[in-house]
Structure 1
Amino acid sequence: MRIVSGDFGGRRLTAVPGTKTRPTTDKVKEAVFNVIGPYFDGGLVLDLFAGSGGLGIEAVSRGADHAYLIDRQFAAIKTIKSNIAVTKQETKFSVLKSDSHKILDKFSRDGLSFDLVFLDPPYAQQKIENDILKMENLNLLGADAKIICETNLETVLSDKIGQFNVSNIKEYGITKITVYQKG
């Protein structure tokens, strides 16, 4: 696993030990950024189920200003911090151990607004849809926000969630990527 492109391109990342976390493969990561980017001119990123932190780190490597990387597992937090260290730009990242719903409430109180959101929870349709609706209701999504959902092939997400419509769906092996934008 590595950072595919950008300022930190080619640097190696480690996966979270054990089987509770599925790292996004380099092939899928590169394909995702080709669909949504591939490069950014600033912006705030949220990786709500960060695992190893690879997607948020990739977004900052490709020009995002700052990424918030959230996970509730201690092993994931430890791995994320180790992976961020390879960038030598630790100030561009905030790593928080928290439940997704609790942290969204905190972000709302802090007045944050995200431009790019990655949702790769343990495969569960309702969690993704509920999280998008909660982020929208808490005004956490910027006017041009993109939400990237990673699921298994069997998961069927709604074409429209709140004000967000599917703008792209791609399948890569056993992984499906669904991109939402305001429509």
Structure 2
Amino acid sequence: MRVIAGTARRLNLVTAPGLQTRPTTDRIKETLFNILQPEIPGCRFLDLFAGSGGIGIEALSRGAKEAVFVENNRKAAACIQQNLSFTHLSEQARVLETDVLTALARLEREGQAFSVIFLDPPYDKGWEQKVFSFLHDSCLTDEDTLIVVEESNETDFSFAGEYGFSIVREKCYKTNKHVFLKRGEGSHHA
């Protein structure tokens, strides 16, 4: 797994051996960032279920102002720290080694919205619904926040509307997909 573009381009990242993490393949990551690129420069990026941190590190490498990584597994969190150090991106990053809902509550107290929230939860466990339930009344999102969920192709996102989010785009691959959501019925700028 490597960084595709930006300041840390071509640097290889470590992944925790034997963990239940599924690093996003380079090809899928490249497709994702081709879509996200307009949002990245200067953004606040939140990487939930961060695994080895490849997605958030890619965002930092491409010009995100800061990234927060949330990863519950100690070995994976140590990998994120190692990868940040190796790519010289530690200064703009924070790693929260805790479960996602605890981390969201902690970030909520800081009162700042994120530009992009990426989540790659364990597939088919209903985590995305728990996260959207939290974000429903949260200051962590505003009208401009783009939420991207990596999930299995079978995952149904019809629940998003009841939490005030709508799907703005969907990109399907062989075994999984990226679903892009924003608050409200289509975004509007204040």
User: TM-score band (shorter)?
Assistant: over 0.9
Secondary structure in 1 aligned to 2:145? strand
Secondary structure in 1 aligned to 2:70? strand
Q: Distance in 2 between matches of 1:139 and 1:133?
A: 13
The percentage of counterpart residues that share the same residue type is 36
Q: Distance in 2 between matches of 1:179 and 1:62?
A: 19
Kindly provide the amino acid, as one letter, of the partner of residue 180 in structure 1.
L
Task: Quote the residue 2:105 is aligned against.
Answer: 105
Query: What are the equivalent positions in structure 2 for 1:35-50 lying under 5 Å apart?
Result: 35-37=35-37, 40-50=40-50
Q: Is the 8 A contact 2:124 2:152 kept in 1?
A: no
Kindly provide the amino acid, as one letter, of the partner of residue 87 in structure 1.
T
Secondary structure in 2 aligned to 1:147? strand
Task: Quote the residue 1:142 is aligned against.
Answer: 142
Does residue 4 of structure 1 match 2:7? no
Task: Quote the residue 1:180 is aligned against.
Answer: 181
Deviations 1:5-29 (A, max 9, x none): 1121111112221141111111111
Task: Quote the residue 2:91 is aligned against.
Answer: 91
Q: Distance in 1 between matches of 2:154 and 2:19?
A: 20
Q: Is the 8 A contact 1:107 1:140 kept in 2?
A: yes
Kindly provide the amino acid, as one letter, of the partner of residue 22 in structure 1.
R
Query: What are the equivalent positions in structure 2 for 1:10-89 lying under 5 Å apart?
Result: 10-37=10-37, 40-89=40-89
Tell me the TM-score normalised to structure 1 length. 0.93
Q: Distance in 2 between matches of 1:39 and 1:166?
A: 17
> Which stretches in structure 2 are left out of the alignment for 5+ residues?
none
Call closer, same or farther: CA 1:169–1:85 in 2, change over 3 Å: same
Task: Quote the residue 1:131 is aligned against.
Answer: 131
Deviations 1:114-166 (A, max 9, x none): 11011111113631022023123121113311111001122122274423211
- The size of the alignment, in residue pairs, is 183
Kindly provide the amino acid, as one letter, of the partner of residue 111 in structure 1.
G
Flag the structure with higher strand content: 1
Deviation at 1:38, TM superposition (A): 5.2
Kindly provide the amino acid, as one letter, of the partner of residue 8 in structure 1.
A
Call closer, same or farther: CA 1:153–1:74 in 2, change over 3 Å: same
Tell me the TM-score normalised to structure 2 length. 0.90
Q: Distance in 2 between matches of 1:44 and 1:88?
A: 18
Q: Is the 8 A contact 1:51 1:80 kept in 2?
A: yes
Kindly provide the amino acid, as one letter, of the partner of residue 179 in structure 2.
T
Q: Is the 8 A contact 2:72 2:98 kept in 1?
A: yes
After alignment, is 161-170 or 27-36 more displaced? 161-170
CA-atom RMSD in angstroms:
1.6
